[in-house]
Chain A
Amino acid sequence: MRRERVPIAVGILAASGAAFFILPLLGLIVRSPWGDAIKALTAPDTVEALKLSLVASLSATVIALVFGVPLAWVFARVEFRGRNLLRALTTLPMVLPPVVGGIALLLAFGRRGLVGSWLDSTFGITLPFTTAGVVMAETFVAMPFLIITVEAGLRSMDRRYEEAARTLGAKRWTVFTRVTLPLIGPSLFAGAVLCWARALGEFGATITFAGNFPGVTQTMPLAVYLLLGTDHEASYILSLVLLVISLGVLVALRHRWLGSA
């Protein structure tokens, strides 16, 4: 393939833009004390935080799939009043400061919250300071990524395949599970992975809604933040771990599903 010639100004600006993303990563790599990497990574608190992060982010992704896919389907397929408003509300956490999201969650699901007070008085369930609270905070912040990806997939798919399935006698649920879902597979996968990666990196909503306690609510990003105050080097290493995981996910995603150039 012939290479496109790059206008000089575009080239300079693009290179500066790229450097803006690469330099911070470089900073982490250069400043990390590689000799202590193993020690930092195997510290009990780190292992616990990593384990909790994985469990919570994967749970958040599963929950996002269960509720997000039907929501995306409704947004893509059903016309109703207030659809745009509802869609905006469900994607709001993407642009909301996560701390604000955490406060909002407290006001709804906290011990004195709209739903939370009822949960507490009826079932004795309180969500703040629990791992469930972490999962909720992560789901709140990450699910919008799944919703918009899946909705875009649903909108761009050829709906005539669904019609073909109906002419073959398939009922709505069969059409959805056997035709629609497989056909939007790539979007579904991409959405789930983006959602997971976002959940893994969640900080603000988690610390606000679920607090911070090792093994229960202290996820990797929280551990990194707290280590920054005491042990810079260890926090650099953990930051790198998070960064490498996310980078791996995004690169793999691009290759596997978005097609590589």
Chain B
Amino acid sequence: MSLEANVRLTLGALDLDIELSVDEAEVVALLGPNGAGKTTLLRAVAGLVPLTSGYVKLDGRVLEDAASGKYVPTERRSIGVVFQDYLLFPHLSVLANVAFGMRSRGMPSHEAAEKAAQWLDRVGLSAYVQDKPDALSGGQRQRVALARALAPDPRLLLLDEPLAALDVTTRAEVRRDLKRHLTTFPGLRLVVTHDPLEAAMLADRLVVMENGRLVQTGTPAEVTERPRSQYVADLVGVNLLRGQADHGSVRISDDSVIAAAAAESGDVFAVIHPRAVALHLRRPEGSPRNAWPGRVSGVEMLGGRVRVRVEGDVPLVAEVTPAAISDMQVAEGGEVWVSFKSTDVGVYPA
């Protein structure tokens, strides 16, 4: 039993064309930069944006099929949505908000109220049952939104940036609770986020999107180890190069070839961790095979380490200690040499 979606549509500048499936066994996170089309994809699954072509199927039942014109309206889809800014009804009490879905689906009011109260108890908000949403803190509102989405027992739970509106201190706590609810939820789960940490912590599988297209999918470990786009490489903080492999070397461009201890051949990605990149003031002795001169284009502190961006034939980021920086007197615009060992290059097919 699963969600299967093949969504193609254009909306303003966005051109969305992506295939997505979600199984019962996994929590899937849609990860991508702003404007990648994550939220639009989620809204398409919910039936709030029409497809130009493609389909959405839930447990084999067609919810929308552009070819046949079939469309099950949003209100008749078994979904629960947690919106980015929650969209709790400001004129209704917290209890009425949570009971709303059950009432809409025809449950008698006393029964809906009882179930809503149970849900609020479960998210630790029994004390706020009669309050209006604007009396609650951000974290509390998020939990009401979650309870409201879960209360009608939807088959598919959609969360759009569920933690984005929270401040950093609340976020960790709410994320833990969210993780627990996601784990115990018996249906299908899809989370949209632009935060890789959040994605890695909440989801079993990441679906990385850029410009309306799927760029990579896999477990958080797979995606971090083998990034397949500059966006993911930047998120993970590694150097990603692409080139043609040929028995122990990878040609990045006409002028530059790097040595790599790998047996791959053909179109490949090469990943080098910044900590494996060394900086030198002069051409390194012993002339290692992977050494280039370059110009420092950026220096930034990052948790006790310093990241130095070097432009050259092969642009690279090196991560060194602050002590090394002051010894070498590296500054923006300065000339340096970079080097790394061929055994520190990870190579995998593109």
Please report A residues at the B interface, Cβ cutoff 8 Å. 158, 160-161, 163-171, 174, 178-179, 182-183, 185
Contact = CB atoms under 8 A, between A and B. Distances in A.
A167 B46 CA distance: 7
B91 A171 contact: no
Contacts of A166: 48, 73-75
Contacts of A179: 89
B83 A169 contact: no
Given A164-B83, A167-B46, A167-B79, 15 more contacts: A158-B87, A160-B83, A163-B48, A163-B74, A163-B87, A166-B48, A166-B73, A166-B75, A167-B48, A167-B81, A168-B80, A168-B104, A169-B101, A169-B104, A182-B89
A162 to B, nearest CB: 10
Binding site of A, secondary structure by majority: helix, strand, loop or mixed? Answer: helix
A174 B74 CA distance: 14
For B46, B87, B92, which residue has the most chain A Cβ atoms within 10 angstroms? B87
A167 B43 CA distance: 10
B152 A168 contact: yes
19 contacts: A158-B87, A160-B83, A163-B48, A163-B87, A164-B89, A166-B73, A167-B74, A167-B77, A167-B80, A168-B100, A168-B101, A168-B152, A169-B75, A169-B101, A169-B104, A170-B104, A171-B104, A183-B89, A185-B91
B90 interface: yes
A130 B112 CA distance: 50
A114 to B, nearest CB: 40
A243 to B, nearest CB: 35
Contacts of B155: none
B104 A161 contact: no
Interface residues of B, number: 23
A178 to B, nearest CB: 8
B167 to A, nearest CB: 23
For B92, B104, B149, which residue has the most chain A Cβ atoms within 10 angstroms? B104
Interface in B101-116: 101, 104-105
Contact of B152 (A165, A169, A185): A169
Interface string B235-259: 0000000000000000000000000
B38 interface: no
A178 B76 CA distance: 18
B148 interface: yes
Nearest to B145: A164
Contacts of B46: 163, 167
The 10 closest A-B pairs by CB, nearest first: A168-B101, A170-B104, A169-B104, A164-B87, A182-B91, A166-B74, A167-B81, A169-B105, A166-B75, A169-B75
A179 B87 CA distance: 11
Contact of A165 (B76, B80, B100, B149): B100
B259 to A, nearest CB: 54
